[in-house]
Amino acid sequence: MELLKSSEFERMNVGASHTAKEIAQQPRLWNETKEIILYHRERILSFLTSIKNQHDQLRIILTGAGTSAFVGDTILPHLKGIVNNKKIVVESIATTNIVSNPDSFLDENFPTIMISFARSGNSPESLAAVNLGEQIIKDFYGIIFTCNPDGLLAEKKKNDSNHLVIYMPTEANDQGFAMTSSFTTMLLSVLLLSHVKHIHTLEKTLDDLVQAGNSIISESEKSVKELATSTFSKVVYLGSGVFEGLAREASLKLLELTGGTIPSTFDTSLGFRHGPKSILDKETIVFVFLSSHSYTRQYDLDILEEIYRETDRGKVVAISSIKDEMSVNHCDLFYHVDLPKINNDILLTFPYILYAQTFAMYKSINLGFSPDNPSPSGVVNRVVKGVTIHPYAKDSKNGGDLS
């Protein structure tokens, strides 16, 4: 039974009613997301132009918690690559860091646009990070990408002239435990935002991504399911550039959906040798997200070959946009998204993550969990609970006096 193509009844029987639907619907929602950003194009341009005209320098902070933070981590290398002047600084800082250490991350004299990613908009840190920005920074603006129009963050800021609130497609507000549709639609939204002036030039490429996503769902699900139901106890995801953030998100999906019973980690292709490779043994599956950039890809292929030649290892899985002899011959399982004309890795994050989401869902079922609710005891929740937001005072002092 292949859940991404099955009936609601079959999905419900294994506790994956929401999760399977939300993984499978993503290619369609990518197209809907494009239409949403196109609809708001003039509004976005006007908002950004007004801010740029007021300030000689700007700081952009990408923020969220958990998977929402990894949206920023994933897009950050791409944004740094297209911001080719010293007027704009782009950073990815989780709301959890901003809220606990605002003095370390917020500069009162640096005009700032905080781009918030929020599935529900009800996580305590989401609203607190924006409140702190307003409290500390003299010239503060916000862009909010949220999947929930009724969330606290959206409700508070939708009529604020210093904020731009953009809602994702209705179905992107994932009802399952793990963020899937919400992750890729918010990632696509900020990508399109960064190219909003020339968004029409991306339409054909986005059509290709939708087609690739549908092909993965229709043709690769059985193979991914077989891999997930094989015997292993640990998983590693590796990738360079934008794929480091994506590897982190892939690692979290498996950890969440298996209730923490399958330890998973992530690293860069070069960084893995510097200690983290200690995790490698016959019980460890390693996924390598291969870059489309010829220079970067050399390092991905180096670690792929190195791990493949190890005697004490589990299966090695390569995911690539092109098919070449080197990558095919140095892995146990090769997934080819067949997008040879795409030479920008950020675009490949969308089809690549489908493999990791599907893999995590099937391992969850294989271990006897319900993917829609893998933590019925409430140790972790769909919307985080138990967070106390403490009042911030500008004159708060450190515990030690270094004067």
Distance CA 350, CA 331 (A): 22
- Please check whether residues 196 and 311 belong to one and the same domain: no
Q: Report pLDDT for 394.
A: 77
- Please check whether residues 362 and 313 belong to one and the same domain: yes
Q: Report pLDDT for 376.
A: 73
For the chain, first and last CA: distance in Å? 67
Q: Report pLDDT for 396.
A: 60
Residue 376 belongs to a domain: no
At 161, the amino acid letter reads S
At 24, the amino acid letter reads A
Residue 373 belongs to a domain: no
- Please check whether residues 82 and 112 belong to one and the same domain: yes
Distance CA 356, CA 151 (A): 28
Is the backbone of residue 148 left (phi > 0), alpha (psi -120 to 50) or beta? beta
- Please check whether residues 158 and 271 belong to one and the same domain: no
Residue 375 belongs to a domain: no
pLDDT per residue as tens digits for the range 105-159: 999 999 999 999 999 999 899 999 999 999 999 999 999 999 999 999 999 999 9
Residue 357 belongs to a domain: yes
In the structure encoding, which two tokens stand for residue 261, read together? 């019973």
Domain end point (choices 200, 230, 252): 200
Residue 55 belongs to a domain: yes
Distances, alpha carbon 94 to alpha carbons 68, 130, 154, 174, 213, in Å = 8, 12, 18, 21, 28
Residue 399 belongs to a domain: no
- Please check whether residues 303 and 168 belong to one and the same domain: no
Q: Report pLDDT for 393.
A: 87
Q: How many domains are contained in the chain?
A: 2
Residue 43 belongs to a domain: yes
- Please check whether residues 265 and 338 belong to one and the same domain: yes
- Please check whether residues 196 and 255 belong to one and the same domain: no
Q: Report pLDDT for 381.
A: 61
Q: What is the CATH number of the domain that holds 87?
A: 3.40.50.10490
Q: Report pLDDT for 1.
A: 79
Question: Within a 10 A sphere around the Cβ of 85, how many other Cβ atoms?
Answer: 6
- Please check whether residues 180 and 292 belong to one and the same domain: no
In the structure encoding, which two tokens stand for residue 314, read together? 């589990």
Taking a C-beta distance cutoff of 8 angstroms, is the pair 117, 71 a contact?
Answer: yes
pLDDT less than 50: residues of the chain: 402-403
Residue 275 belongs to a domain: yes
- Please check whether residues 251 and 156 belong to one and the same domain: no
Give, as one character, the DSSP assignment of residue 177: S
| Backbone CA torsion sign across 71, 76, 81, 83 | positive
- The domain in which residue 152 lies consists of 3-200
- Please check whether residues 115 and 264 belong to one and the same domain: no
- Please check whether residues 182 and 243 belong to one and the same domain: no
- Please check whether residues 47 and 179 belong to one and the same domain: yes
